[in-house]
């Protein structure tokens, strides 16, 4: 596939939804390995690699980072369908970071603050994207992603400490105009939303009492990108300070 239409939408809006990227068997294999990882690996991970809303309640697992220590996920980053889509959107060869997993457990009521991913990544040029695959049906009730249309073309917004675990910085001057320009990403399991590193996005709390909102994500970085090491050091220190204040051992 050439993804020409998807590329046009990505460039215009800063995000694009691709329905059912994987074959059913590929999607089933991915979910089975995520279940295995959560069951067998996560209990032994440090706090900085697995975040819980309430660590005494395993069902409130909300984020997993640095999954590349597992053989399956170390190899998975080379999956040709993910790479082909990412490089078509970026427009150049790309490298990929370790996979991540996100969840909004039912009735935990945590929000994802509005933010731009590249505020965390600190890459110049910002030729970086995130591919976010739904593992559950995702809609307004359980906290779908919401994108500010075209915001990737308008530069950085001011971020500040959010005190929200897993999203240490957030946009503090989110406006009525931002709300009015939002587009909700309503997804079925296996659908992928691809967003630019400068696209402003957020998610409401999961208001469902029974439904999770789980996803699997990978970040692809164009070969032209260089990290602003000074800015990244400032961000990393701020994240460490917040984790320490929350009593996490990272």
DSSP 40: I
The stretches of the chain forming alpha helices (DSSP H) are 4-13, 24-36, 71-76, 80-90, 117-121, 176-180, 229-245
From the list 36, 120, 24, 19, the residue with the least C-alpha distance to 73 is 36
pLDDT at site 247: 57
From the list 91, 67, 151, the residue with the least C-alpha distance to 115 is 151
pLDDT at site 36: 98
Structure tokens, 190: 């296996």
Q: Around Cβ 229, how many Cβ atoms within 10 Å?
A: 9
pLDDT at site 236: 66
Tens of each residue's pLDDT in the chain, 250 residues:
789 999 999 999 999 999 999 999 999 999 999 999 999 999 999 888 999 888 888 888 999 999 999 999 999 999 999 999 999 999 999 999 999 999 999 987 788 999 999 999 999 999 999 999 999 999 999 999 999 999 999 999 999 876 665 566 899 899 999 999 999 999 999 999 999 999 999 999 999 999 999 999 999 999 999 998 888 777 666 566 555 554 555 5
Q: Are 48 and 162 in contact (CB under 8 A)?
A: no
Show the domains of the chain with their CATH numbers.
4-245 (2.60.120.620)
pLDDT in tens, 128-184: 999 999 999 999 999 999 999 999 999 999 998 766 655 668 998 999 999 999 999
pLDDT at site 57: 86
Angle, CA 234 vertex, CA 53 and CA 54 arms, to 5°? 5
pLDDT at site 128: 98
CA distance 103 to 62: 4
């Amino acid at each position: 596939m050439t993804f020409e239409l998807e590329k046009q939408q990505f460039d215009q809006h800063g995000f694009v939804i691709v329905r059912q990227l994987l074959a059913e068997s590929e999607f089933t294999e991915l979910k089975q390995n995520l279940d295995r990882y959560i069951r067998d690996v996560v209990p032994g991970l440090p706090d900085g690699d697995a975040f819980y809303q309430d660590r005494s309640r395993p069902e409130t697992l909300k984020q997993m980072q640095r999954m590349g220590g597992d053989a399956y996920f170390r190899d998975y980053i080379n999956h040709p369908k993910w790479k082909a889509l990412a490089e078509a959107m970026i427009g150049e060869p790309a490298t990929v970071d370790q996979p991540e997993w996100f969840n909004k457990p039912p009735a935990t009521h945590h929000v994802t603050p509005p933010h731009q991913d590249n505020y965390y990544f600190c890459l110049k040029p910002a030729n970086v994207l995130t591919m976010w695959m739904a593992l559950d049906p995702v809609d307004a009730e359980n906290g779908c992603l919401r994108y500010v249309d075209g915001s990737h073309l308008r530069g950085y917004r001011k971020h500040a400490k959010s005190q929200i675990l897993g999203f240490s910085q957030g946009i503090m001057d989110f406006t009525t105009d931002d709300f009015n320009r939002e587009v909700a990403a309503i997804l079925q399991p296996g659908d992928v939303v691809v967003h630019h590193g400068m696209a402003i996005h957020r998610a409401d709390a999961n208001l469902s009492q029974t439904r999770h909102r789980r996803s699997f994500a990978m970040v692809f970085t164009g070969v032209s990108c260089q990290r602003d090491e000074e800015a990244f050091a400032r961000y990393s220190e701020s994240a460490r300070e917040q984790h320490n204040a929350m009593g996490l051992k990272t």
